[in-house]
Structure 1
């Protein structure tokens, strides 16, 4: 179901939909948060969208829920530089039609930005935003268009950075690597990024194994990956299908096998590890490449405190989820820009100009300091909007994702030099 929700509005609500009974304010009638006492600035209206359909192949309900939580928190503190934050949310439904509908609604509502959102259908959402001059801040990185559109301001390097980082992480310990990836246009670009990092470390290129994204079994691909990896590593980047692949792999893997398994955040994360047994999970010992510090890092404490106070009992919001974390960072960008503008009226054009002129965003160490001037981009024709080419190396120990290497690892050079396999 596609729809949009108002969190903060001084006007009657035209349409409200919800699929989660978490807080009467958000699920009945036209959820309204009282205006700010003594607020001096105009209300700032933004939108956050994501697929929000329980049981679907892609369900990122935590992202719009985190956006609404952020609004409750910041408005309780007096808003952003005196501006009440009004958040609209939209179910993107993981479809081009749903994505386009959300973008058109954002234009119709004259939002100043789309913030912390998820869509695999980048052209469907970015074309309407570009026509209206609306910036797209901190998308999840699920589409290539986020890294080419002049109105996109990504906070991470997307899946490309994860793959480049995954190759570098595996190169330290793996003589051979089997890469299991989708049989799709996006999947076709994956081996080139992994292999660039492997060959830089004098490792052979990965053995490329294509697989359907949402199969019920991966026995044949698992057997092939195990055979080709030898005593090396098997890495799988299949989104939701990654769990199913490693179920098949574990059934075939000989006892006491020396093979290490690996993936990237978005395909494997703390919620999946918890759901599959924690310290008894089949992912115990796995290498995982991420964008941000591990979820137990102290730098996430402010976000966790906000969730605990303003979204208590809302099971859509998991602070360990990368989508929730990305939304928090994206709203940090929005807040910094509005405070830097220091104006009574905030417009989409003003937000874009501020970002383009080099407003610096300190995310509290969750990313490097972010800035989107031309000279801050990675300088790649394939990824012209990436300004953060850093990743983190993590490993599953005792059922938790923990740091495999301290700090960020810069894969910018790989992103610039990688050649996608034809």
Structure 2
């Protein structure tokens, strides 16, 4: 693999299923608010993992089998960009670049790169800074990359805007802006953006035979608007929605949790950073709540496992990026890639962001299978838009197709549904289940 690395400077560089009756503006407004909420949680956390136990060292023969036969890329490199926040004051996501390096080595040695040609990577660290994010995008344009893969970023929209204007295709695992989500032209997003806050609680309610979801949510400027526009999605499923917003930093939530329990909550979902969720969980435990409980993935970290008794976490349903820690053959490929190409780089395969980077780069290459001729931004865009539905690498049961029809109101989304898992008495994932996955139409 060939790699170029750049660091952005402070200045800018150069030049549940969709209802047919829901307006595009409503869905995009909700997704824009969801993106802002997600960015706030990202910047307020120091990282997120799905299983804190490091796996045992991979068996060499098993790793070789997971990687598959050698299929070496040859010829003139195809240059792509990778942008992530990397090391910022709020969080250290620099492992995403390490995963990108390892994944590209794997793709070049075992998957013939892109159209048989080796992938060359140009990296840029945005540091969650809008100006630096814009600068990263402009540098990618100046370096003539054919596409950009974006990792975790609190400034995703600032990365997207210059690339979109330059017609450079962009692939995200998850996005955080209505502009990128609503782009029908050259943006491709691999996760169902409504899944954590709509599909998850609705599914848990249905499994429990409940008719109500009570959400305990961190009180941010976007939270009220988000749940105003997602409420119809709950109502369409026959589920009532009650949202209790609590300010960040509230250490003792016992009074609020008592009112929730007294009010027949149905099922409870907690939405916030791990510190917020710890207070909510301990408040619910203090008042004796023993009903169904759901949470977004940001809630469950090592800090949560240390601060909340395992008997309370047991049975909680959360979303998952990938089946981390399981014997799933799709995630075994990711683990083999890290063990083979990133062994001495300190990559923690239990980090959800690490799996997401592997998934995004691998899916980008998968979407370009069969590409021939000149590899240009326009050719890459056309190939991704024209690809048939395929399995999402690293996440058995999930599929993707980027023809704009997964959710026509937000045409950049390429997937429906996601993974759910329940926690054991140590707060760790057990089995994984794909939920809400349906074929994406022609």
Tell me which interval the TM-score lies in, with the shorter structure as reference length: 0.7 to 0.9
Corresponding residue to 2:369 among 339, 360, 377: 339
Q: Give the whole-Å Cα distance in 2 for the aligned partners of 1:211 and 1:279.
A: 22
Q: Give the whole-Å Cα distance in 2 for the aligned partners of 1:14 and 1:318.
A: 24
Q: Give the whole-Å Cα distance in 2 for the aligned partners of 1:177 and 1:243.
A: 22
Whether 1:408 and 2:402 are equivalent positions in the alignment is no
Q: Give the whole-Å Cα distance in 2 for the aligned partners of 1:319 and 1:278.
A: 24
**TM-score, normalised with respect to structure 2:** 0.72
Matches within 5 A, 1:17-36: none
- In structure 2, the CA distance between the partners of 1:180 and 1:144, relative to structure 1 (3 Å rule), is farther
- Judge conservation of contact 1:288–1:393 (CA < 8 Å) in 2: yes
Q: Give the whole-Å Cα distance in 1 for the aligned partners of 2:117 and 2:251.
A: 52
- Consecutive aligned runs of 4 or more in structure 1 exceeding 6 Å deviation: 13-17
Q: Secondary structure of the residue that 1:205 maps to in structure 2?
A: strand
String of CA shifts for 1:356-375, please: whole Å, max 9, x gaps.
2235443355354322224x
More relative contact order, 1 or 2 (CA 8 Å, 6+ apart): 2
The residue number in structure 2 matching 1:308 is 339
Corresponding residue to 2:178 among 131, 144, 152: 144
- In structure 2, the CA distance between the partners of 1:88 and 1:302, relative to structure 1 (3 Å rule), is same
Whether 1:73 and 2:103 are equivalent positions in the alignment is no
String of CA shifts for 1:157-194, please: whole Å, max 9, x gaps.
12x22211122133133565432324335423442476
Give the drift of 1:14: 7.2
User: Which moves more between the two structures, 166-175 or 62-71?
Assistant: 166-175
The residue number in structure 2 matching 1:243 is 275
String of CA shifts for 1:68-120, please: whole Å, max 9, x gaps.
11122233445444322111222221121121121112112111111142223
- In structure 2, the CA distance between the partners of 1:170 and 1:407, relative to structure 1 (3 Å rule), is closer
Structure 2: any 5+ residue segments left out of the alignment? 10-70
**TM-score, normalised with respect to structure 1:** 0.75
Whether 1:62 and 2:95 are equivalent positions in the alignment is yes
Q: Give the whole-Å Cα distance in 2 for the aligned partners of 1:14 and 1:392.
A: 34
The residue number in structure 2 matching 1:288 is 318
- In structure 2, the CA distance between the partners of 1:126 and 1:255, relative to structure 1 (3 Å rule), is closer
Paired positions, count: 371
- In structure 2, the CA distance between the partners of 1:106 and 1:82, relative to structure 1 (3 Å rule), is same
- In structure 2, the CA distance between the partners of 1:395 and 1:243, relative to structure 1 (3 Å rule), is farther
Give the drift of 1:201: 4.7
- Judge conservation of contact 2:171–2:189 (CA < 8 Å) in 1: yes
Whether 1:134 and 2:168 are equivalent positions in the alignment is yes
Q: Secondary structure of the residue that 2:152 maps to in structure 1?
A: coil
Q: Secondary structure of the residue that 1:64 maps to in structure 2?
A: helix
Q: Secondary structure of the residue that 1:103 maps to in structure 2?
A: helix
The residue number in structure 2 matching 1:276 is 306
- Judge conservation of contact 2:313–2:425 (CA < 8 Å) in 1: no
Corresponding residue to 2:354 among 291, 314, 324: 324
Cα RMSD, aligned residues only: 3.5
The residue number in structure 2 matching 1:349 is 378
Whether 1:163 and 2:194 are equivalent positions in the alignment is no
